[in-house]
Structure 1
Amino acid sequence: MIKNALVWFKTDLRIEDNETLLRAIAQSEKILPVYCFDEAHFETTPYGFKKTGAFRAQFLLESLEDLDAQLRTLGSGLRIVMGKPEVEIPKLVQEYKAQKVFAKREVAFEEIQTEKRVRTELFKLRCELETFSTSTLYHAEDLPFSIKDIPDVFTNFRKKTEKDSEIRQPFSTPTKINSPEISPLELPTLEALGLIKNTIDSRAVLQFKGGESEALQRLNHYFFETQCLSTYKETRNGMVGADYSSKFSPWLALGCISPRFIYAEILKYEKQFGANDSTYWLVFELLWRDFFRFMFKKYQTKFFLYEGIKTEKVNSKSLNEKLLSQWINGTTPSDFINANMRELQQTGFMSNRGRQNVASYFCNEMNMDWRFGAAYFEEQLIDYDVCSNWGNWAYLAGVGNDPRGHRYFNIEKQAADYDKKKSFRKLWLTE
C-alpha cells in the first residue's frame, strides 16, 4: 500500500468503468484526482487553426465540472492545474509527497511524447507513472494479434477479433475515495484559454452538454426511453434531428462514458427488447473506433504525414486559401457541402454522412492537402478524437486504411440519396 498517489485524468472523465481510478484507490491510502489544462492543447497548429476550438473547450469545462461533482459525492474532488503536464504534475507530486501517478495510457504521437516527458520528470522524484488502457471496447492485450501484426483492413481486423476475443466486463463504480482536503473547483474561463464563447445554434441536432451524467442520460434516452437503438442501422445516415444516431461520440471522445459500458448496456437492451442488426451495428461502430486507436498504436506518426500509411502520393499537396475559405464558410458551388459546413461551424457537430462528403469534396474536387481539412475538424468538432479524426481523413484521402484505394463520393448523388427532400439543406441554407 502506498501512502499518497495522484490520479491524472485526461480523456477519461468518468468514475464508472474507470480502471485507472479504481487501481489508485485500491493501492493507495489517499489519492488526489487532478486535471491539467495542457497549454499545448490551446495553441495554433502549423495549419493555422486552433488545436481546440470554443465548442470543444466548453464541452470539456462542463465535463470537468460534472467529474468534480461526482468525485465530491465520494469524498474527493478535482484539482485543476494549467501549464505543461511535465512541469505541473511533478509539482503536485512534490506538494503531496506522492509515490505514484496513475493515468490513462495514450496511443497517439503527441500524447505519447507528453507521457514520456512526465515519466522522465517523475523518475527524478522517484515517483512511478502507471498507465492503464481504458479507451477501447476490446483490451489491447486480448486482441488475437500483436499490435504490429494488426490487419490494415478493417473487415479482417473485425472478423478475427469478434471470433477470437472477448469484451471485458466494465469495472464497478467506486463507493468512497480518501483524499486530502481539496478546495472548491476552479476552472479557467474560455477567455483565459484564449477562446470566445460560442452559443450552439438552435438548429443543432442536439444541445450537447459535457459530463458523465449527461452521457448516461443520453444513453438512457436513446436506448430505454425511445428504443431508437432498434432502428439505428436504418436511420444512422440521417442528417436532421437528435435521434437518427446515438450521438455518443462527444462523450466517448472525452471518456465521459466508456465503450465497454455502452456494450454492457446494449446486452441489457437486447435482453429486454431483442437483438437485431441495429443493436449489433452500434457495436460495429465502436469497433471502428477501436480499429483506429490500434492503427495509431501501430503506425504512430504516419497518420499525420501527407502520404499517410501509404507510400505513393495520391492527392495534391497544394493549398488554395480562397478555396479553403469557401469550404470552411460554406460558400462552395455545392449546396450540400455548404449546408454541412455551416452546421459544423455553428454547432461543432456534423453527421457521419456529412463528414465523408465534405472530406471527399476537399480532397477530390478541391484537390487540396487533406491535413488542412483534418486540422480544421480538430478545431471545430465537439467530438474530436485524434485517432478517429485523422484516421478517417487519411482513409478518405486515399492514404489510410481503405482497401479500395481512393474513395470518391459523387456529391450530387449523395445529396439526392440522403437529403431527398432537401430538408437538411433548407435548414442550414436559409438564414
Structure 2
Amino acid sequence: MSKKILVWFRNDLRLHDNEMLVEAIAKSDSILPVYFFDPRYFINTSFETAKTGKIRARFLLESILSLRKAFQEKGGDILLIQGKPEDHFSELVERFEIAEVYHHREVSPEETAVSASVEDVLWKQRINLKHFIGHTLYNKEDLPFPIKDIPDVFAQFKKKTERDAIVKACFEVPEQIAFVENAVWGEVPGLADLGFEEELSAACYSTGGEDQALMHLTELLATGSFIYNKPVKNTPDKEGFSSRLSAWLAFGCLSPRKVYWQVKEAEALHGSHPNFNQVLLGLLWRDYYRFMFKKHGLKFFQESDFEELIQAPVAADDELTLQWKAASTGHLLVDRYMQQLNETGFITFPARLLVATFLVHVFKIHWTKGAAYFEEKLIDYSPASNWGNWASVAGVGLDLKSKNTFDLEKQMKILDVAITAVV
C-alpha cells in the first residue's frame, strides 16, 4: 500500500523554504495538501471587534489562490474546506487512506488549542500528527540555549543569538510533487462567504501570495529605494523606511530565512546600510516574541488577571476608545495614523508605537482594547508580535529592563512635539 501524507497548511502559504512540505514529499508516495477556512477566525471577539478584518481576509484569499496556482502548476491542487479542522480530519483520513499528518506548530493559545483538538481526533485513529517549526529565522534546536532558558530581555536574546546561533539555508522549491488522486478540490470562498457584507473595491496595501511576496522582495533589494531611503526614525514628520514585508511574513507567504539570505546577498553587493539592519532586527523581534510565547504562554503578560481581561473585558467601548478607533481624537498625528490603519490595514512600526502610547498613556485605556482592535485591522497581524508589543507599551511585558523594548519618555516627547489638540 502506498503511503499518503496529508499536509495541513495554516500560516505557511508557500512552496519555498517549507521543510514540512519537502519532508512530506520525501517520506510519502503522494501528498494531500489541505487548507481549512476555520469559522473561529471570522467571528467577533469578546472585545466586540472582528477577529479578522475585511482587509486581512482578502489578503488571505489572495494568498490561498496563489498557493493553489503553484500546486496546479505542479500537476495537483490543494483541498479547500470551510469548517473546523477537528470536525473533518477523521473523515479525510478514512477517505484518502492517510498514513500521517504534517503541520506547522503555532504558539498562540487559540492556535495551539486547535492543534491539540486535531491531535486528539487523530490519536483515536492511531494517526500521527507531526509538528514542524517553520515561522522563525532561527530553529529552536539551533539556538544557543533551550527554550526554558531563553533570555527574557530582548537585548540579551539578540546578543547571544547573533553571536552563537546560525541561520540555516533555505529549502528549495520542490521540483516534482506526487498528489493524492482527488476529483473535487473545493472553491476559494468570497468575502461574503466568510461573513463580510461588502466586497472591497480597491487595493488597500498589497496583494497576498507567495508570488507577490517574492517579487516585492526582489524589487525591494534590486532598486535604489532600499539603499537610498532613510532608515526608520521616531519623528512625527517622517515615517522613514519600511520594507513592507510583514504581511507576507505573517501568512507565511514569505520565509524569514529567505528574507535574511537575500538581504545578506544585497549587503555583499552594496555594503552595509541601516535599512539592511532594520529588516534583520525586525526578523529578530518576530523570533523573540514567538519564543517568549513558547516559553511562557500567557504568563508572559505580567498581569494576574490577564485571562479574565481577555475572556470578559468591559463590554462597551467608552467615548475615548471610540474616538481613537474612529481617528477623531483631535491629535493630528494620531488621527492621521489611525485613519491610515482603518483604510489600508497598515501603519509603520513607529506609528504603531505612537498610537498605542496615546491610547494607553494619554487616554488611560487598558492596552488589551488596543491590541484587540489591531487584531481586527492589521493586514500583517501576528498574535505573538501584536500582543507582545502592546504589552511592552503598557509596561506589562517581561522585557522591562531596557529601553530597547519601549521608551515611554521618548514616545511622549514625540506626541508633545506634534501639533496637537487633545481633549
TM-score (norm 1): 0.88
Give me the whole-angstrom Cα distance separating, in 1, the residues matched to 2:97 and 2:175.
25
Q: Deviations over 1:190-209 (max 9, x none)?
A: 1111113464777x6xx311
Distance of 1:217 and 1:238 partners within structure 2:
30
Q: Are 2:239 and 2:348, in contact at CA under 8 Å, matched by a contact in 1?
A: no
- Per the alignment, residue 400 of structure 2 pairs with 402
Residue matched to 1:94:
94
Deviations 1:238-278 (A, max 9, x none): 89999931100000000000100111111221222223343
Aligned to 1:72: 72
Partners of 1:307 and 1:61 in 2: CA distance: 38
User: Residue type of the partner of 1:11?
Assistant: N
Cα 1:386–1:255 change in 2 (3 A) is: same
SS across alignment from 2:129: strand
2:210 corresponding residue in structure 1: 212
Going from structure 1 to structure 2, the CA distance change for 1:200 and 1:98 (only over 3 Å counts) comes to: same
The one-letter amino acid of 1:90's match is S
C-alpha distance in 2, partners of 1:276/1:106?
A: 33
Q: Distance in 1 between matches of 2:55 and 2:301?
A: 23
Q: Deviations over 1:56-102 (max 9, x none)?
A: 10000000000000111112211111111111233211211101011
Query: Residue 381 in 1 paired to residue 381 in 2?
Result: no
Structure 1 contact 398–407 (Cα < 8 Å) conserved: no
Matched position secondary structure for 1:65: helix
Question: Does residue 357 of structure 1 match 2:354?
Answer: yes
Q: C-alpha separation between the residues in 2 aligned to 1:132 and 1:143?
A: 16
Partners of 1:38 and 1:240 in 2: how far apart? 41
1:229 paired residue number: 226
Displacement of 1:126 after TM fit? 1.5
What count of residue pairs does the alignment treat as equivalent? 410
Matches within 5 A, 1:289-308: 289-303=286-300, 306=303
2:305 and 2:76 map into 1 onto residues whose CA distance is: 44
- Aligned to 1:234, the other structure's residue is in SS state coil
- Is 1:274 paired with 2:271? yes
- How much does 1:42 deviate? 1.0
Root-mean-square deviation (CA, aligned residues, Å) is 2.7
- Which whole-Å CA distance do the structure 2 matches of 1:349 and 1:297 have between them? 26
**Does the 8 Å CA contact 1:2/1:99 hold for their aligned counterparts?**
no
Conserved in 1, the CA contact under 8 Å of 2:290 and 2:385? yes
The runs of 5 or more residues in structure 1 that have no matched partner are 310-315, 426-431
User: What is the percent sequence identity of the aligned residues?
Assistant: 39
In structure 2, the CA distance between the partners of 1:295 and 1:232, relative to structure 1 (3 Å rule), is: farther
Paired position in structure 2 for 1:5: 5
Displacement after TM superposition at 1:148 (Å):
1.5
Q: CA deviation at 1:413?
A: 4.0
Distance in 2 separating the partners of 1:386 and 1:150: 19
Find the aligned partners of 2:2 and 2:8 in 1 and give their Cα distance: 16
Matched residue type, 1:269: A
Determine if contact 2:49/2:376 at 8 Å carries over to the other structure.
Answer: yes
Q: Which runs of 5+ in 2 are unaligned?
A: 307-312
- The answer to whether the 8 A contact 2:236-2:414 is kept is no
Moved more, 87-96 or 237-246: 237-246
The CA deviation at 1:415 is 5.4
The residue type paired with residue 218 of structure 1 is H
SS in 2 for 1:80: strand
- For 2:250 and 2:165, the matched residues in 1 are separated by 24
* Equivalent position SS for 1:362: helix
Q: TM-score, normalised by structure 2?
A: 0.90
Amino acid at match of 2:280: V
- Give the match for residue 187 of structure 1: 188
Contact 1:232 1:282 in 2 (8 A): no
Residues 379-417 of structure 1 deviation map (CA, whole Å, 9 limit, x = unaligned): 110000011100000010100123258842566742587
